[in-house]
Amino acid sequence: MSDPIPYTRTHRLGSGAGGEVWLATGKDGPVALKLAATGRSLSGEIGALARVRHPNVPALVAADRQGTWFARRFVEGARLTSWAHGRPLDARLDVFEKIAGAVHALHGAGVVHGDLSPVNVLVDDQGEPQLLDISADTRGGALGWMAPERVNGDPPSIAADVFGLGALLYALCSGRPPHERAGTAALGFVSGSSLPLPPSATVFDIPAPVEELALRALAWSPRARPAAPMVLLEGVRHGRMALPLPAVIGMLEERERLRRAVVEAVRSEPVVVVVHGPRGSGRLTLLRECARAAAREGLLVRELPLSRARTELALASEATAILIDANGAEEDALREAVEVATEASLVLVRADAPARWLSRRGALHVRPVALSASEVGLLAASLGVGTDRVNRGFERSQGRPGVAVALLHGEVPAGEPLTQLQERLVCRLEEGAAHLSDLASLTNLTEHHVLDALEPLMLRGVVWSTREGGELFASRVG
C-alpha cells in the first residue's frame, strides 16, 4: 500500500511516459510532486536523487517507499535554450560549467542521467541551472540530443551523458541543436549516420577550444569522446578566452556528405572521397574540415603530397585517414598512386577533375559549389571586413571562397605570374571595360585564344565580367 501524499496539488507542470509532475504545497512550502504512471515505479529516480547532493540538482524532499510518488525542491525558471536566447556567450558558458559540474556529481554518486536535453534543464532568475529528471526513464530520450548508440538501443552510459553535454554546449554556443537541418522524422537516422555542422559555420565568436570540445563530445564513436564531464568543464573554463577558428561558410550539402563519409569509414568499410574543382573553389578547406572530423573519431590523419601517397597507403592501418594533394597532377600519376591495396579507413583526394575510374571502388565525388551573395556577406562578417567590398568581391570571385577571401582583404588572389599576353590584356582592362572582340582586335588573336589567356585570371578574380557576360573588367587589387 502506498504512503499517503502529504501535499496539495495546485496545477500540473508536465507529463510523460513515466508519470505526471505537479506544483504542490505542503508544510515546507512549494514542491514539485511527481506521480508515477500506472504500472510504473519512480524508485530509480528516487534512489538517484537521494544519493546526489549538488546545488544544481533539486533536492529530494520526501518520497513514497513503494516508488509511486516523490517530492523535490520546486524550481521556477526557463528552459535552457529559451533562457540562452540573446544572452552573452560568457553567461551561457558559465551555465554550461555548472551543468557539467552537476553531471560530474551524478557520475560520482554512481548515477547516469540518461536524458540530457534542454527540456531537462531549467535556469532560474539568478542564472542557476537546475538538472531535472535524473535517471527518470532509462529506456528513451529526446531525439536529436541522444547519442547514436542510444538511438540504436544501447543503455544509458557515462559516454552517452558526455554526448548529451556536448549537445547542450553546442546549442548554447550556436543557438541551434546539433542536427537542426534534419526534420523530426529523420533525427534518429541523421544523428546515427552523420556529425553536426561546426558551430562556426554561422556563429563567429566561439573560442576555438570550446567549439572543438563540443564537437569531440558529439563524436559518433563513444570511445572517441572525452572520458568524463570534468574534461568538458575544465576545457571550457581554460579555453573560453581563446580566439575563434576561421569560419567555413556555405557548401552545406557537400559538407554533410563528407561528414557522413567519416561516420561510414569509422563504422564499416573503407571510404574514398575525391573533392575536385578549380583553384580557389574550397577543395582543401572542405577536405581539412573532413580530416578534423576523422581525427575526432580517433583516426590518425596524415596529409601527403601525391609523390608519397602510394608508399603510405600501402603501409596504412585501418585506424588511418590519409589526405592526398593531387592538385595539378596528371590522371595517370593519381591512378598509379591511389590504385594500391590499403587498409586505411578513409582516403581523401584533392584533385582538379573527377577520378571516374575510382567509381568501381565506390568513391564519393564531391565538387564544391559557389557561395551565394549572402554567403559572401557572411564570409565578410566572419573576417571582420566591411560590407562595402561584398558585392564586388562576390562578382569578381563568382562565389569561389578562396578567391573571395583574398578579394575581401583587398589582395590579389594567389596564382602564377602573368604572361606577357595576360599583362597586356589586364593593362587594357584596367583602363576601362571592353568586349572580347575589342581585345581580339588589340592582340590580333581570335576571341577563343584571348579567352584561353583570360580564363586563369577569371578563376583568380583578376578579370571578371558582367552577369550578362558582355563586358570584361580587370583589377589586381580588391
User: What would the pLDDT profile of 4-61 be if each residue is shown by its tens digit?
Assistant: 899 999 999 888 777 899 999 988 789 999 998 888 888 888 988 899 999 999 999 9
CB contact burial 315-335 (16+ within 10 A = b; e otherwise): ebeeebbbbbbbeebeeeebe
Do residues 271 and 206 lie in contact, with contact meaning Cβ atoms separated by under 8 Å?
no
Do residues 245 and 215 lie in contact, with contact meaning Cβ atoms separated by under 8 Å?
no
Do residues 316 and 347 lie in contact, with contact meaning Cβ atoms separated by under 8 Å?
no
Do residues 86 and 92 lie in contact, with contact meaning Cβ atoms separated by under 8 Å?
no
User: What would the pLDDT profile of 388-439 be if each residue is shown by its tens digit?
Assistant: 888 888 888 889 898 888 888 888 777 788 999 999 999 999 988 999 999 9
For the chain, give the percent of residues with pLDDT over 70: 95
Please identify, among 50, 73, 96, the residue that sits at the C-terminal boundary of a domain: 73
Output the pLDDT for position 465.
85
For the chain, give the percent of residues with pLDDT over 90: 62
Q: Quote the CA–CA distance of 402 and 416 in Å, as a whole number.
A: 15
Domain with residue 426: its CATH number is 1.10.10.10
Residue 478 has pLDDT above 70, yes or no: no
Please identify, among 310, 338, 366, the residue that sits at the C-terminal boundary of a domain: 366
- The chain-wide mean pLDDT, for the chain, equals 90
Residue 185 has pLDDT above 50, yes or no: no
Are residues 332 and 433 both part of a single domain?
Answer: no
Considering the domain boundaries, does residue 18 fall inside one?
A: yes
Are residues 84 and 156 both part of a single domain?
Answer: yes
Q: Quote the CA–CA distance of 448 and 7 in Å, as a whole number.
A: 88
Are residues 215 and 100 both part of a single domain?
Answer: yes
Name residues whose C-beta falls within 8 Å of residue 169's C-beta, 6 or more positions apart in sequence: 96, 210, 213, 214, 217, 232, 236
Output the pLDDT for position 136.
57
Output the pLDDT for position 14.
84
Cell of 427: 593593362
Sign of the CA dihedral running 110, 111, 117, 120: negative
Q: CA-CA distances (angstroms) from residue 384 to 367, 374, 379, 406? A: 28, 15, 9, 13
Residue 139 has pLDDT above 70, yes or no: no
Are residues 217 and 278 both part of a single domain?
Answer: no
What residue numbers bound the domain in which 292 lies? 252-366
Output the pLDDT for position 229.
97
Do residues 28 and 61 lie in contact, with contact meaning Cβ atoms separated by under 8 Å?
yes
pTM of the model: 0.89
What is the total count of domains within the chain? Answer: 4
- Top pLDDT among 400 and 289 is at 289
User: What would the pLDDT profile of 206-259 be if each residue is shown by its tens digit?
Assistant: 999 999 999 999 999 999 999 999 999 999 999 999 999 889 999 999 999 999
Output the pLDDT for position 285.
94
Are residues 230 and 286 both part of a single domain?
Answer: no
Q: Would you call 114 helix, strand, or coil by DSSP? A: coil
Q: Quote the CA–CA distance of 165 and 443 in Å, as a whole number.
A: 65
Domain with residue 343: its CATH number is 3.40.50.300
Domain with residue 43: its CATH number is 3.30.200.20
